[in-house]
Structure 1
Amino acid sequence: MIAGIVVVKNAELGARIKFFQNACGAVLAPLDSWLIIRGIETLFLRIKQHSKNAQAIAEYLENHPAVDKVFYPGLKSHPNHAVAKRQQKGFGGVVSFSLKQDELKLAEAFVSNTNIFKLAESLGGVKSLISHPANMTHKSIPAEKRRAAGVSDSLIRLSVGIEEVEDLIDDLEKTFEKLNKYSSVEVCDATGVEEKSYC
């Protein structure tokens, strides 16, 4: 992130924050300011494409037999769909989904086998990213608490970019095919204990 904004309702609090910003020198460099100005010029088009791509991907995932749940406010099945539809013009570029086989190893294999979606933690970029919260953003939370908060072992988060949506869906489909091919394969480790191999 290059920059951000703080919005407050109270004028007194706003004045205090402005004082600290001025006193501490938290001011953007000229190059960063120019990058933001340049980016704002195409922001509308990028956000529109993010939302369009994410909607198509969410609908694809919702109908995939290997997917348990899809979390995206643009879907009618989302509990807050009506609120999101009333409050905003689009539904954003972040889609999360969980697998019917709710296994850490399966989710790890999925996020490691995509080609266009790159494994990284970030949001809102032009390039599509994929992450596994149980092993990344929520790794430090004990598994029981994480699951109770709704972050299952197989939850996968997509930050959908502005690439051609057919290519993105094809990337996900090929990854599902890879996992389907290997999910039924049983292998023995060095101790002789059988375990599933997804690699």
Structure 2
Amino acid sequence: MTNGATASGPSTNAIHAGYEPDSLYGPINTPIYASTTFAQDGLAKLRGGYEYTRVGNPTITALEKTVAGLEGSEYAVAFSSGMAAVDTVLRILLKPGDHIVISSDAYGGTYRLIQQIFTQWGVENTVVNMTDPQEVAAAVQPNTKVIWVETPTNPLLDIVDVAAIAAIKGGATLVVDNTFASPYLQQPFTLGADVVLHSTTKYIGGHSDVIGGVVCGNDPEFEEHLRFFFGWVGAVPSPFDAYFTARGLKTLPVRMERHCDNAEAVAEFLSGQDAVARVCYPGLPTHPGHDIAKKQMRRFGGMVSVLMQTEEQAKALCMNTKLFCLAESLGGVESLIEHPATMTHLAVVGSALEVPRELVRISVGIEDEADLIADLEQALARL
């Protein structure tokens, strides 16, 4: 199975799409091609299509094909980080005088890049409530080139109706950051997305040990642009990073099932606590985006956010847990907890993307459910 998209199921694709044991030694796992350069069979005659790792490497290619197989796209291009992927997509799609529509609950790093760098180049942006397609439609201008969607959003876990946004995007490119859902839970191309990207640091890698990003698409011209930036700008993953990401990807489906099981249990437990004002989890029937999430997601994900009654309670909860580690990032096998207003989203304080100070974001891992609930129970008891 060496092509990008295949007709097999997600668990089969996660393990097999993108790589077959080679005919020389037959390794089951993709070898780490730790070589900067490759021997050529003649002048401009590349052996297997590889010349220099900055423009292509077999280990990186295998990872790209596996991700493409899971997303159902024609290709995927790997980058050294999620932000390198974001920056590359924005640089390809935007030029001075263009306009981008972005969610009021978007990843802070993406907004910071747009606001602090791209505005200096003359790119305009409008922040909207992306859960309201009419508000998105009203924000679209003649010079709108990109509509940037995250769903579920970070950190409030709002759900955006991708198909509804695709129906009103006009000539703009619809980009979906699919990091929180992963390609196992959601496939935005089937909903009308033009470009899909991930921070592979999160669920795709899944073990909090490697940083990376990937951009998926179906337009050959866009792929040419991606490959240009991949090689000539040089934001490439190392073969070692690609290997670790691909190794994590093999267990994505089984990990996501356990993440979802545990997150559902955590969300239900927290919903009944007096100190909790609101639980933000799309799997709860009370969530405003629950019906849309049911329609466009396989399950509801491993992220749970909660609004405590006070900021002091939010900070205390983060400090009181023992099994949930106080740390940034998400999507690893271990459970993490954080206070976005003073951690991951500190940079957007005072902006249109400022998050509530009583908010706690939880990345629910794959530990035993009873242990996770017990830890939250003892932490809440100490508020």
TM-score (norm 1): 0.80
Alpha-carbon RMSD across the aligned residues, in angstroms, is 1.8
Which position in structure 1 is the counterpart of 2:382? 178
Which position in structure 1 is the counterpart of 2:324? 117
Equivalent positions of 1:90-129 (< 5 A) are 90-100=299-309, 102=310, 104-129=311-336
Can you list the C-alpha shifts for 1:20-67, whole angstroms capped at 9, x where unaligned?
212234433222222122212211111111111001100111111221
Contact 2:349 2:355 in 1 (8 A): no
Which position in structure 1 is the counterpart of 2:342? 135
Equivalent positions of 1:1-199 (< 5 A) are 1=201, 2-8=211-217, 10-100=219-309, 102=310, 104-142=311-349, 151-179=355-383
- Counterpart of 1:46 in structure 2: which amino acid? R
Which position in structure 1 is the counterpart of 2:197? none
Contact 2:345 2:354 in 1 (8 A): no
- Counterpart of 2:231 in structure 1: which amino acid? N
- Describe the SS at the equivalent of 1:6: strand
Can you list the C-alpha shifts for 1:117-167, whole angstroms capped at 9, x where unaligned?
011111100000000112112223446x57xx5732211000000000111
Can you list the C-alpha shifts for 1:165-198, whole angstroms capped at 9, x where unaligned?
111111011011111xxxxxxxxxxxxxxxxxxx
What 5-or-longer segments of structure 2 have no aligned partner?
1-200, 202-210
Distance 1:24 1:139 in 2: 29
Q: 1:10 to 1:89 in 2, by over 3 A?
A: same
Q: 1:21 to 1:14 in 2, by over 3 A?
A: same
- Counterpart of 1:106 in structure 2: which amino acid? Q
Compare 169-178 and 13-22 and name the one that shifted more. Answer: 13-22
Q: 1:136 to 1:28 in 2, by over 3 A?
A: closer
- Counterpart of 2:281 in structure 1: which amino acid? Y
- Describe the SS at the equivalent of 2:347: coil
Distance 1:9 1:37 in 2: 21
- Counterpart of 2:325 in structure 1: which amino acid? K
- Counterpart of 1:117 in structure 2: which amino acid? F
- Counterpart of 1:28 in structure 2: which amino acid? P
Contact 2:277 2:307 in 1 (8 A): yes
- Counterpart of 1:178 in structure 2: which amino acid? R
Percent of residue pairs bearing the same amino acid type:
45
Q: 1:137 to 1:28 in 2, by over 3 A?
A: closer
Residue 83 of structure 1 and its aligned partner are, at CA, apart by 0.8
Distance 1:142 1:26 in 2: 29
Distance 1:107 1:27 in 2: 38
Which position in structure 2 is the counterpart of 1:185? none
Distance 1:69 1:166 in 2: 22
What 5-or-longer segments of structure 1 have no aligned partner?
180-199
Residue 114 of structure 1 and its aligned partner are, at CA, apart by 0.5
Residue 9 of structure 1 and its aligned partner are, at CA, apart by 5.2
Paired residues in the alignment total 174
